[in-house]
């Protein structure tokens, strides 16, 4: 650290050196002509100069140039480019509306070449997914799903079918910062993990950042999944929706005041339980089983310099069962609520600011409503945060970003209380935990001539674990449950443990030829909250724990190197990246760890380090009748934890050596398109026994590994093919209603992919327990066809 700091300080000064000639600023917004939505990452290029700008998350750009005549090209993938000639003699504001390629407008000059962002931007380890693409891909049971789609990108794996979340470059599911309009989402899954919480109709833009993460973002080790909601159609009222096999959706959007303010509200609900009600089975009729979510957003243009956005998400999964005689019952509910208020303010044409207030809440309830074991158990995580982000478009060569944020956390890890008079339970309340995370950052994107661009920044983060709290130290043998000792109590607001970290970030791009570049990046990340989960797939009941006096912040350092090349007149993008990542203070668990309702949870935790490295190859075609991508990842993710695997490196549970995915979308004609996904992944690592022994007088057979190794085998490889066919209704100019049918088939050849392979004794009653077997458990082991009807009007 000591050697890094002076260099960074020097670099921060660089942008302020020497300007001579008069300079003026050209700024404005780039929007979608159809609905007024700001376009994120649209490009403004100064033709013949090799300089330009990209729009930010709000569609704003700013470019400061020397006075003179310029030809500017505005472009965005899938949209017709526009060229403007300007004579820059004063600061100018140019707002541009780009139209999709099939609605060609006469007054604009249309060029066909898509941007070469892939090669020319600083981005590496970044995957942007167009909602258009996500919607065209075959989906499980027709449910278009953001997270299931990104699982087909290079460097992204999962522990298996139906598992919630995703693993990026060898990191845990909790190491992804999932932001929905800047609000963190603590459990992004519906139905245990089969689907994600984002309603595809309300999502505008999805970006996954796996490396070279800018200093603006922090708090998680492995990735940033930035999901931005639509702002709502500012031109005209529109409705869209769909009727699917699992759920139905409806989205309404429109202007409140044309081109000034708009709203969008999108909801969906699953209806498996409505079918249950129709079933003749009395038991089934009393069941509830559904998820729903509601996303809403509105924005107001307060003036030329101010814009206000309000957005919210509210979703739940609910399950309730009661046997017909009322003797047995159970209920389970979990959900996220998020709210974001943002105020964009232009202090000048060159200083863009955004102030954000965020609320996020995740909770679950588990209960048995009746009987002697009636109880209700709840757990919450509350999150309030505020941040200020500034972008200063210093000059054409430098864009400076800086800001600060503060997150207040409150964890209610668990509270169980008896229900009714019959229950034999006592109330059991785990201590609440509180903490504050602070961060400040500065980051500069600088181009040094035509070929070399740099982005360098520094993030300072801190976490303060505060009282009121009773804390312990833990003592005991390595690898086993430890006992609490040295109890001490802290008063409200008193600091128990304070952690600070400096997180340098750096990326560079060097253009080799106009169509190819070399990129490199380094980032350090710190993470102060941790998902406590010792099951194969994370469950909705898992709790988040803050860093405490015992749980240290997780740290990661990642270096990556990439070669980017566009072929065929920029129609094909290719990239090859290698990365190496080390992780500190990784959490694991003692055997038989009790992660729920355990006041002494920290005694069940083990700590160690992780490393991951790999190669990611990616070829993508964005234009033409056939588009899609092929991605291949060769990687390794390992852990070394004291108390596991004899303290030697072992593969992480989501380590997949080879991952291949092929996604293709082919337009057969104007109305009909066909798409397919194919995925092949090395099986996950698991522990197989090399011996067994008998206990209970020979009645129970226990698998055992005499070497004490972890994850010494692999389950069989995972592969799967999905297909879908989309048929659009005939275009009819006089009718606003547009419909489409989507027929999709998941797991076309019905492969029984192994989620796990486990070992058991044949449990034939009264049999001797000598017969043992290996069992393959497949989660979605058969072909799953579905039909969805989507409409807009």
Min. distance of Cβ 381 from another protein in angstroms?
Answer: 17
397: tokens are 């060569």
Question: Across 126-171, where does the E strand assignment appear?
Answer: 126-130, 156-157, 167-168
Beta-bridge partners for 557 = 524, 582
Of 449 and 592, CB closest to another protein: 592
Map residue 282 onto helix, strand or coil: helix
Binding mask 474-503 for another protein (x = CB under 8 A): ------xx----------------------
Binding mask 338-367 for another protein (x = CB under 8 A): ----------------------------x-
What single string gives the DSSP state of each residue in 393-458? EEETTEEEEEEEEEEEEEEEEEEEEE-TTT--PPPEEPPPEEEEEEEEEEEEEEEETTTEEEEEEE
Check residue 319 for interaction with another protein (CB under 8 A). Answer: yes
Residue 339 CA to residue 586 CA, distance in Å, equals: 31
Min. distance of Cβ 413 from another protein in angstroms?
Answer: 13
Of 35 and 747, CB closest to another protein: 747
Q: How many residues bind another protein (CB under 8 A)?
A: 102
Residues 652-711 interacting with another protein (rule: CB under 8 A) = 653, 686-708, 710-711
Q: Which of 368, 458, 606, 612 binds another protein (CB under 8 A)?
A: 368
**Cα dihedral sign, 703-704-709-710:** positive
Check residue 51 for interaction with another protein (CB under 8 A). Answer: no
Residue 511 CA to residue 690 CA, distance in Å, equals: 54
Map residue 327 onto helix, strand or coil: coil
Q: Which of 105, 256, 768, 783 binds another protein (CB under 8 A)?
A: 768
- Nearest-CA neighbor of 626 among 570, 664, 574, 661? 664
Question: How many of the other CB atoms lie within 10 Å of CB of 579?
Answer: 24
Residue 674 CA to residue 53 CA, distance in Å, equals: 36
Q: What Cα–Cα distance (Å) separates residue 694 from each residue in 764, 768, 772? A: 16, 11, 12
Q: Are 736 and 793 in contact (CB under 8 A)?
A: yes
Q: Give residue 430's Cα distance to chain centre.
A: 30
Check residue 786 for interaction with another protein (CB under 8 A). Answer: no
Location of structure tokens 């969008």: 264
Q: Which of 752, 785, 789, 791 binds another protein (CB under 8 A)?
A: 752
Of 289 and 555, CB closest to another protein: 289
Q: Which of 109, 774, 783, 787 binds another protein (CB under 8 A)?
A: 774
Residues 515-534 interacting with another protein (rule: CB under 8 A) = 534
- Nearest-CA neighbor of 146 among 174, 160, 165, 171? 165
Q: Are 23 and 395 in contact (CB under 8 A)?
A: yes
Residue 59 CA to residue 53 CA, distance in Å, equals: 11
Residues 378-417 interacting with another protein (rule: CB under 8 A) = 416
Residue 686 CA to residue 628 CA, distance in Å, equals: 33
Min. distance of Cβ 188 from another protein in angstroms?
Answer: 16
Min. distance of Cβ 649 from another protein in angstroms?
Answer: 16
Binding mask 73-92 for another protein (x = CB under 8 A): --------------------
Min. distance of Cβ 604 from another protein in angstroms?
Answer: 10
Min. distance of Cβ 544 from another protein in angstroms?
Answer: 16
Q: Are 53 and 393 in contact (CB under 8 A)?
A: yes
Of 429 and 727, CB closest to another protein: 429
Q: Which of 18, 421, 426, 669 binds another protein (CB under 8 A)?
A: 426
Q: Are 616 and 168 in contact (CB under 8 A)?
A: no
Binding mask 260-299 for another protein (x = CB under 8 A): ------------x----------x---x-x----------
Min. distance of Cβ 55 from another protein in angstroms?
Answer: 41
- CA angle in degrees (0–180, nearest 5) for 43-398-24: 75
Residues 142-201 interacting with another protein (rule: CB under 8 A) = 160, 162-163, 191-194
Q: Which of 33, 137, 531, 541 binds another protein (CB under 8 A)?
A: 541
Of 196 and 575, CB closest to another protein: 196
Q: Which of 69, 107, 487, 766 binds another protein (CB under 8 A)?
A: 766
Min. distance of Cβ 737 from another protein in angstroms?
Answer: 33
Residues 622-651 interacting with another protein (rule: CB under 8 A) = 644
Of 104 and 323, CB closest to another protein: 323
Stretch that binds another protein, among 149-157, 308-316, 388-396, 776-784 (CB under 8 A): 776-784
Fill in the DSSP letter of residue 172. -
Check residue 377 for interaction with another protein (CB under 8 A). Answer: yes
């Amino acid at each position: 650290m000591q050697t890094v700091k002076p260099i960074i300080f020097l670099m921060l000064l660089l942008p302020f050196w020497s300007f001579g000639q008069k300079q003026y600023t050209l700024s404005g917004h780039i929007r979608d002509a159809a609905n007024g939505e700001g376009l994120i990452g649209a490009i403004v290029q100064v033709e013949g100069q090799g300089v330009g700008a990209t729009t930010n998350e709000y569609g704003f750009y700013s470019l400061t140039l020397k006075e003179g005549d310029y030809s500017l090209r505005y472009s965005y993938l899938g949209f017709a480019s526009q060229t403007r000639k300007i004579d820059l003699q004063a600061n100018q504001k140019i707002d541009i509306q780009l139209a999709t390629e099939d609605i060609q407008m006469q007054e604009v000059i249309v060029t066909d070449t898509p941007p070469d962002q892939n090669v020319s931007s600083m981005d590496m380890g970044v995957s942007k997914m167009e909602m258009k693409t996500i919607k065209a891909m075959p989906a499980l049971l027709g449910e278009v799903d953001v997270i299931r789609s990104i699982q087909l990108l290079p460097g992204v794996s999962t522990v298996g079918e139906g598992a919630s979340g995703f693993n990026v470059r060898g990191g845990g599911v909790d190491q992804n910062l999932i932001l929905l309009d800047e609000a963190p989402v603590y459990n992004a899954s519906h139905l245990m993990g089969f689907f994600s919480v984002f309603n595809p109709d309300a999502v505008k833009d999805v970006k996954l950042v796996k490396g070279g993460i800018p200093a603006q973002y922090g708090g998680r080790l492995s990735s940033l999944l930035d999901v931005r909601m639509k702002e709502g159609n500012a031109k005209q009222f529109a409705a869209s929706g769909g009727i699917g096999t699992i759920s139905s959706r409806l989205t309404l959007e429109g202007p409140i005041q044309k081109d000034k303010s708009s709203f969008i509200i999108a909801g969906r609900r699953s209806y498996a339980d409505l079918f249950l009600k129709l079933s003749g089975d009395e038991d089934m009729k009393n069941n509830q089983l559904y998820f729903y979510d509601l996303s809403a957003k509105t924005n107001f243009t307060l003036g030329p310099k101010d814009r206000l956005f309000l957005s919210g998400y509210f979703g739940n999964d609910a399950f309730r069962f009661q046997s017909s005689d009322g003797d047995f019952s159970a209920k389970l509910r979990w959900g996220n609520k998020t709210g974001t208020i943002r105020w964009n303010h232009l202090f000048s044409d060159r200083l863009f600011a955004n102030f954000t207030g965020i609320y996020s809440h995740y909770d679950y309830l588990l209960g048995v409503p009746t009987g002697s074991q009636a109880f209700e158990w709840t757990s919450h995580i509350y999150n309030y945060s505020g941040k200020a982000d500034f972008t200063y478009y210093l000059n054409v060569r430098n864009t400076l970003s800086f800001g600060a944020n503060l997150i207040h956390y409150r964890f209610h890890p668990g509270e169980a209380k008896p229900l009714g008079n019959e229950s034999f339970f006592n109330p059991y309340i785990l201590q609440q935990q509180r903490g504050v995370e602070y961060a400040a950052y500065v980051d500069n994107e600088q181009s040094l001539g035509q070929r070399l661009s740099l982005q360098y920044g520094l993030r300072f983060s801190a976490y303060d674990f505060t009282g009121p709290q009773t804390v312990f130290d833990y003592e005991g043998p390595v690898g086993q449950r430890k006992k609490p000792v040295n109890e001490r109590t802290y008063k409200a607001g008193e600091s128990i443990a304070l952690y600070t970290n400096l997180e340098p970030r750096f990326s560079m791009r060097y253009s080799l030829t106009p169509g190819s570049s070399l990129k490199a990046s380094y980032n350090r990340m710190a993470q102060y909250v941790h998902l406590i989960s010792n099951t194969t797939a994370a469950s909705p009941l898992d709790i988040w724990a803050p860093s405490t006096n015992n749980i240290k912040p997780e740290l990661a350092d990642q270096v990556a190197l990439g070669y980017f090349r566009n072929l065929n007149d920029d129609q094909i993008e290719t990239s090859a990246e290698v990365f190496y990542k080390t992780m500190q203070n990784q959490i694991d668990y003692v055997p038989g760890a009790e992660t729920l309702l355990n006041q002494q949870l920290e005694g069940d935790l083990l700590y160690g380090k992780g490393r991951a490295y790999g190669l990611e190859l990616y070829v993508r075609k964005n234009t033409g009748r056939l588009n899609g991508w092929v991605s291949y990842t060769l990687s390794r993710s390992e852990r070394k934890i004291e108390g596991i695997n004899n303290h030697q490196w072992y593969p992480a549970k989501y380590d997949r050596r080879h991952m291949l995915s092929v996604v293709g979308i082919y337009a057969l004609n104007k109305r009909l398109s066909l798409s397919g996904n194919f995925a092949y992944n090395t099986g996950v690592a698991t522990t197989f026994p090399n011996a067994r022994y008998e206990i209970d007088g020979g009645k129970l057979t226990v698998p055992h590994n005499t070497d004490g190794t972890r994850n010494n085998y692999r389950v069989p490889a995972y592969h799967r093919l999905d297909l879908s066919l989309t048929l659009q209704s005939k275009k009819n100019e006089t009718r606003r209603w547009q419909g489409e049918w989507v027929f999709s088939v998941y797991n076309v050849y019905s492969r029984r992919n192994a989620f796990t392979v486990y070992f058991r004794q044949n449990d034939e009653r009264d049999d001797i327990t000598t017969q043992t077997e290996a069992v393959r458990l497949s989660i979605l082991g058969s072909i799953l066809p579905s039909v969805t009807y989507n409409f807009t009007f």
